[in-house]
Structure 1
Amino acid sequence: MALRISVFASKELQQTIAILKGVDKDISKAIRIHIRSITSGEWAEAVRGRTSNAQEVKVLANTARVLVSNQNITLRAGHIGKALSGGAKPSDIVRPVEFGAPQNTVNTYTARSRKGKTFRVTRHTNRQFRGPSRTGYAVYPAASKVIPRIASLFVQTTIRTFFEGFERAGRG
């Protein structure tokens, strides 16, 4: 799941993006790299702090990443990673891990024994997930906590890097 930080809620973010549009490509690249290095650790720790079991850590916290561009910052979780030990990819089960799933879901199918007899199998396929939650368990609460901090870092880092580059250009 990907959460994009909206710049329409803040004049400071809109002005920062306007600054980035007029800055040299090397400076904007340095700003993006610096912001990503600072915010990726905070995002991963915020998600990890809200996980409560190993499945959530593997699917959400271990795959938490920050993507930074000149226009926005995107917080992601559950998009990368190799298949888990049971065979499921994190991207396939990220929604039920974050928002839960109905516990009474039953999957019934017909199987065949080694001797050729058919029989019905009933499995409860969602018992490994928590119960349903509209607000999420780890990613969305972490995002609401960390987005103001990341937006502030975005503005501060952009302004500081821009003026440091401006001062270096003035001296040289």
Structure 2
Amino acid sequence: MLRVGNHRELQAVVLALKAMDRDLARDIRRDTVRTMGPEWKEAVQRRASWHMDHRVIVPGTRIAGGNPPTMIAASSRRRLSGGLVPVQAWGGFEFGSNRSRRTTYTRRNRRTGGTHSVTRNTTRQLPRRAPRGRVAYPAVAEMAPRLASLWVQTVVRRVHEAAEGRQ
């Protein structure tokens, strides 16, 4: 991950945005979202290879225009047909699971009213374990330096234009 605290140049941009005119900072955030959003969404879509990636991780992929901007994926709150909510269950699809894990639980028999024990393989439908992520995290690793550079360039250009009176 790219952290602002680790880079003096990014810290300078954050401080400049805090100190500048509110309207100019708002315009810079708007430009940032407009230019970086499609790039980020396209990078996540390019890495999504499975149909469930396109249903769980890709929806809700966006840039939140803050100071600094934030890359967000899998933020959709709309339930899928089976009841899964992507914003709550994205981790299993991004990082996978131990596909051979078995879960044992007791259930009631409707006809006889008695209970019995059932063992199910409950994570078989998830991808194999990927500790470094499969879709969004590799996309962040690929895009973060590029988007940070674009953010700094946007701020410097807009401040320069404002100083010259072109805005």
Please indicate, yes or no, whether the TM-score normalized by the shorter chain is above 0.5.
Answer: yes
What residue number does 1:85 align with? 81
- Work out which of the residue numbers 117, 123, 136 in structure 2 matches 1:139: 136
Mapped contact 2:59–2:75 kept (Cα < 8 A): no
Deviations, residues 103-125 of structure 1 (Å, cap 9, x unaligned)? 11222223334423444433211
How far off its partner does 1:149 sit? 1.1
Mapped contact 2:36–2:147 kept (Cα < 8 A): yes
- Work out which of the residue numbers 103, 107, 118 in structure 2 matches 1:107: 103
Q: Does 1:94 align with 2:119?
A: no
Structure with more relative contact order (C-alpha pairs < 8 Å, separation 6 or more) = 1
Alignment: residue pair count: 166
- Work out which of the residue numbers 34, 40, 43 in structure 2 matches 1:43: 40
Give 1:54-69 correspondences, 5 Å limit: 54-69=51-66
- Work out which of the residue numbers 149, 153, 157 in structure 1 matches 2:146: 149
Deviations, residues 63-86 of structure 1 (Å, cap 9, x unaligned)? 21211223x222122233311111
How far, CA to CA, are the matches of 1:136 and 1:68 in structure 2? Answer: 24
Q: Percent identity?
A: 34
1:51 partner letter: A
What secondary structure, in the 3-state scheme, does the structure 2 residue paired with 1:151 have? helix
How far off its partner does 1:127 sit? 0.9
What secondary structure, in the 3-state scheme, does the structure 2 residue paired with 1:8 have? helix
TM-score, normalised to structure 1's length? 0.87
Q: Does 1:123 align with 2:120?
A: yes
Deviations, residues 39-68 of structure 1 (Å, cap 9, x unaligned)? 111111111111111111111111212112
Q: For structure 2, which runs of at least 5 residues remain unmatched after alignment?
A: none
TM-score, normalised to structure 2's length? 0.89
How far, CA to CA, are the matches of 1:109 and 1:129 in structure 2? Answer: 20
Q: For structure 1, which runs of at least 5 residues remain unmatched after alignment?
A: none
Question: What root-mean-square deviation, in Å, do the aligned CA atoms of Structure 1 and Structure 2 show?
Answer: 1.9
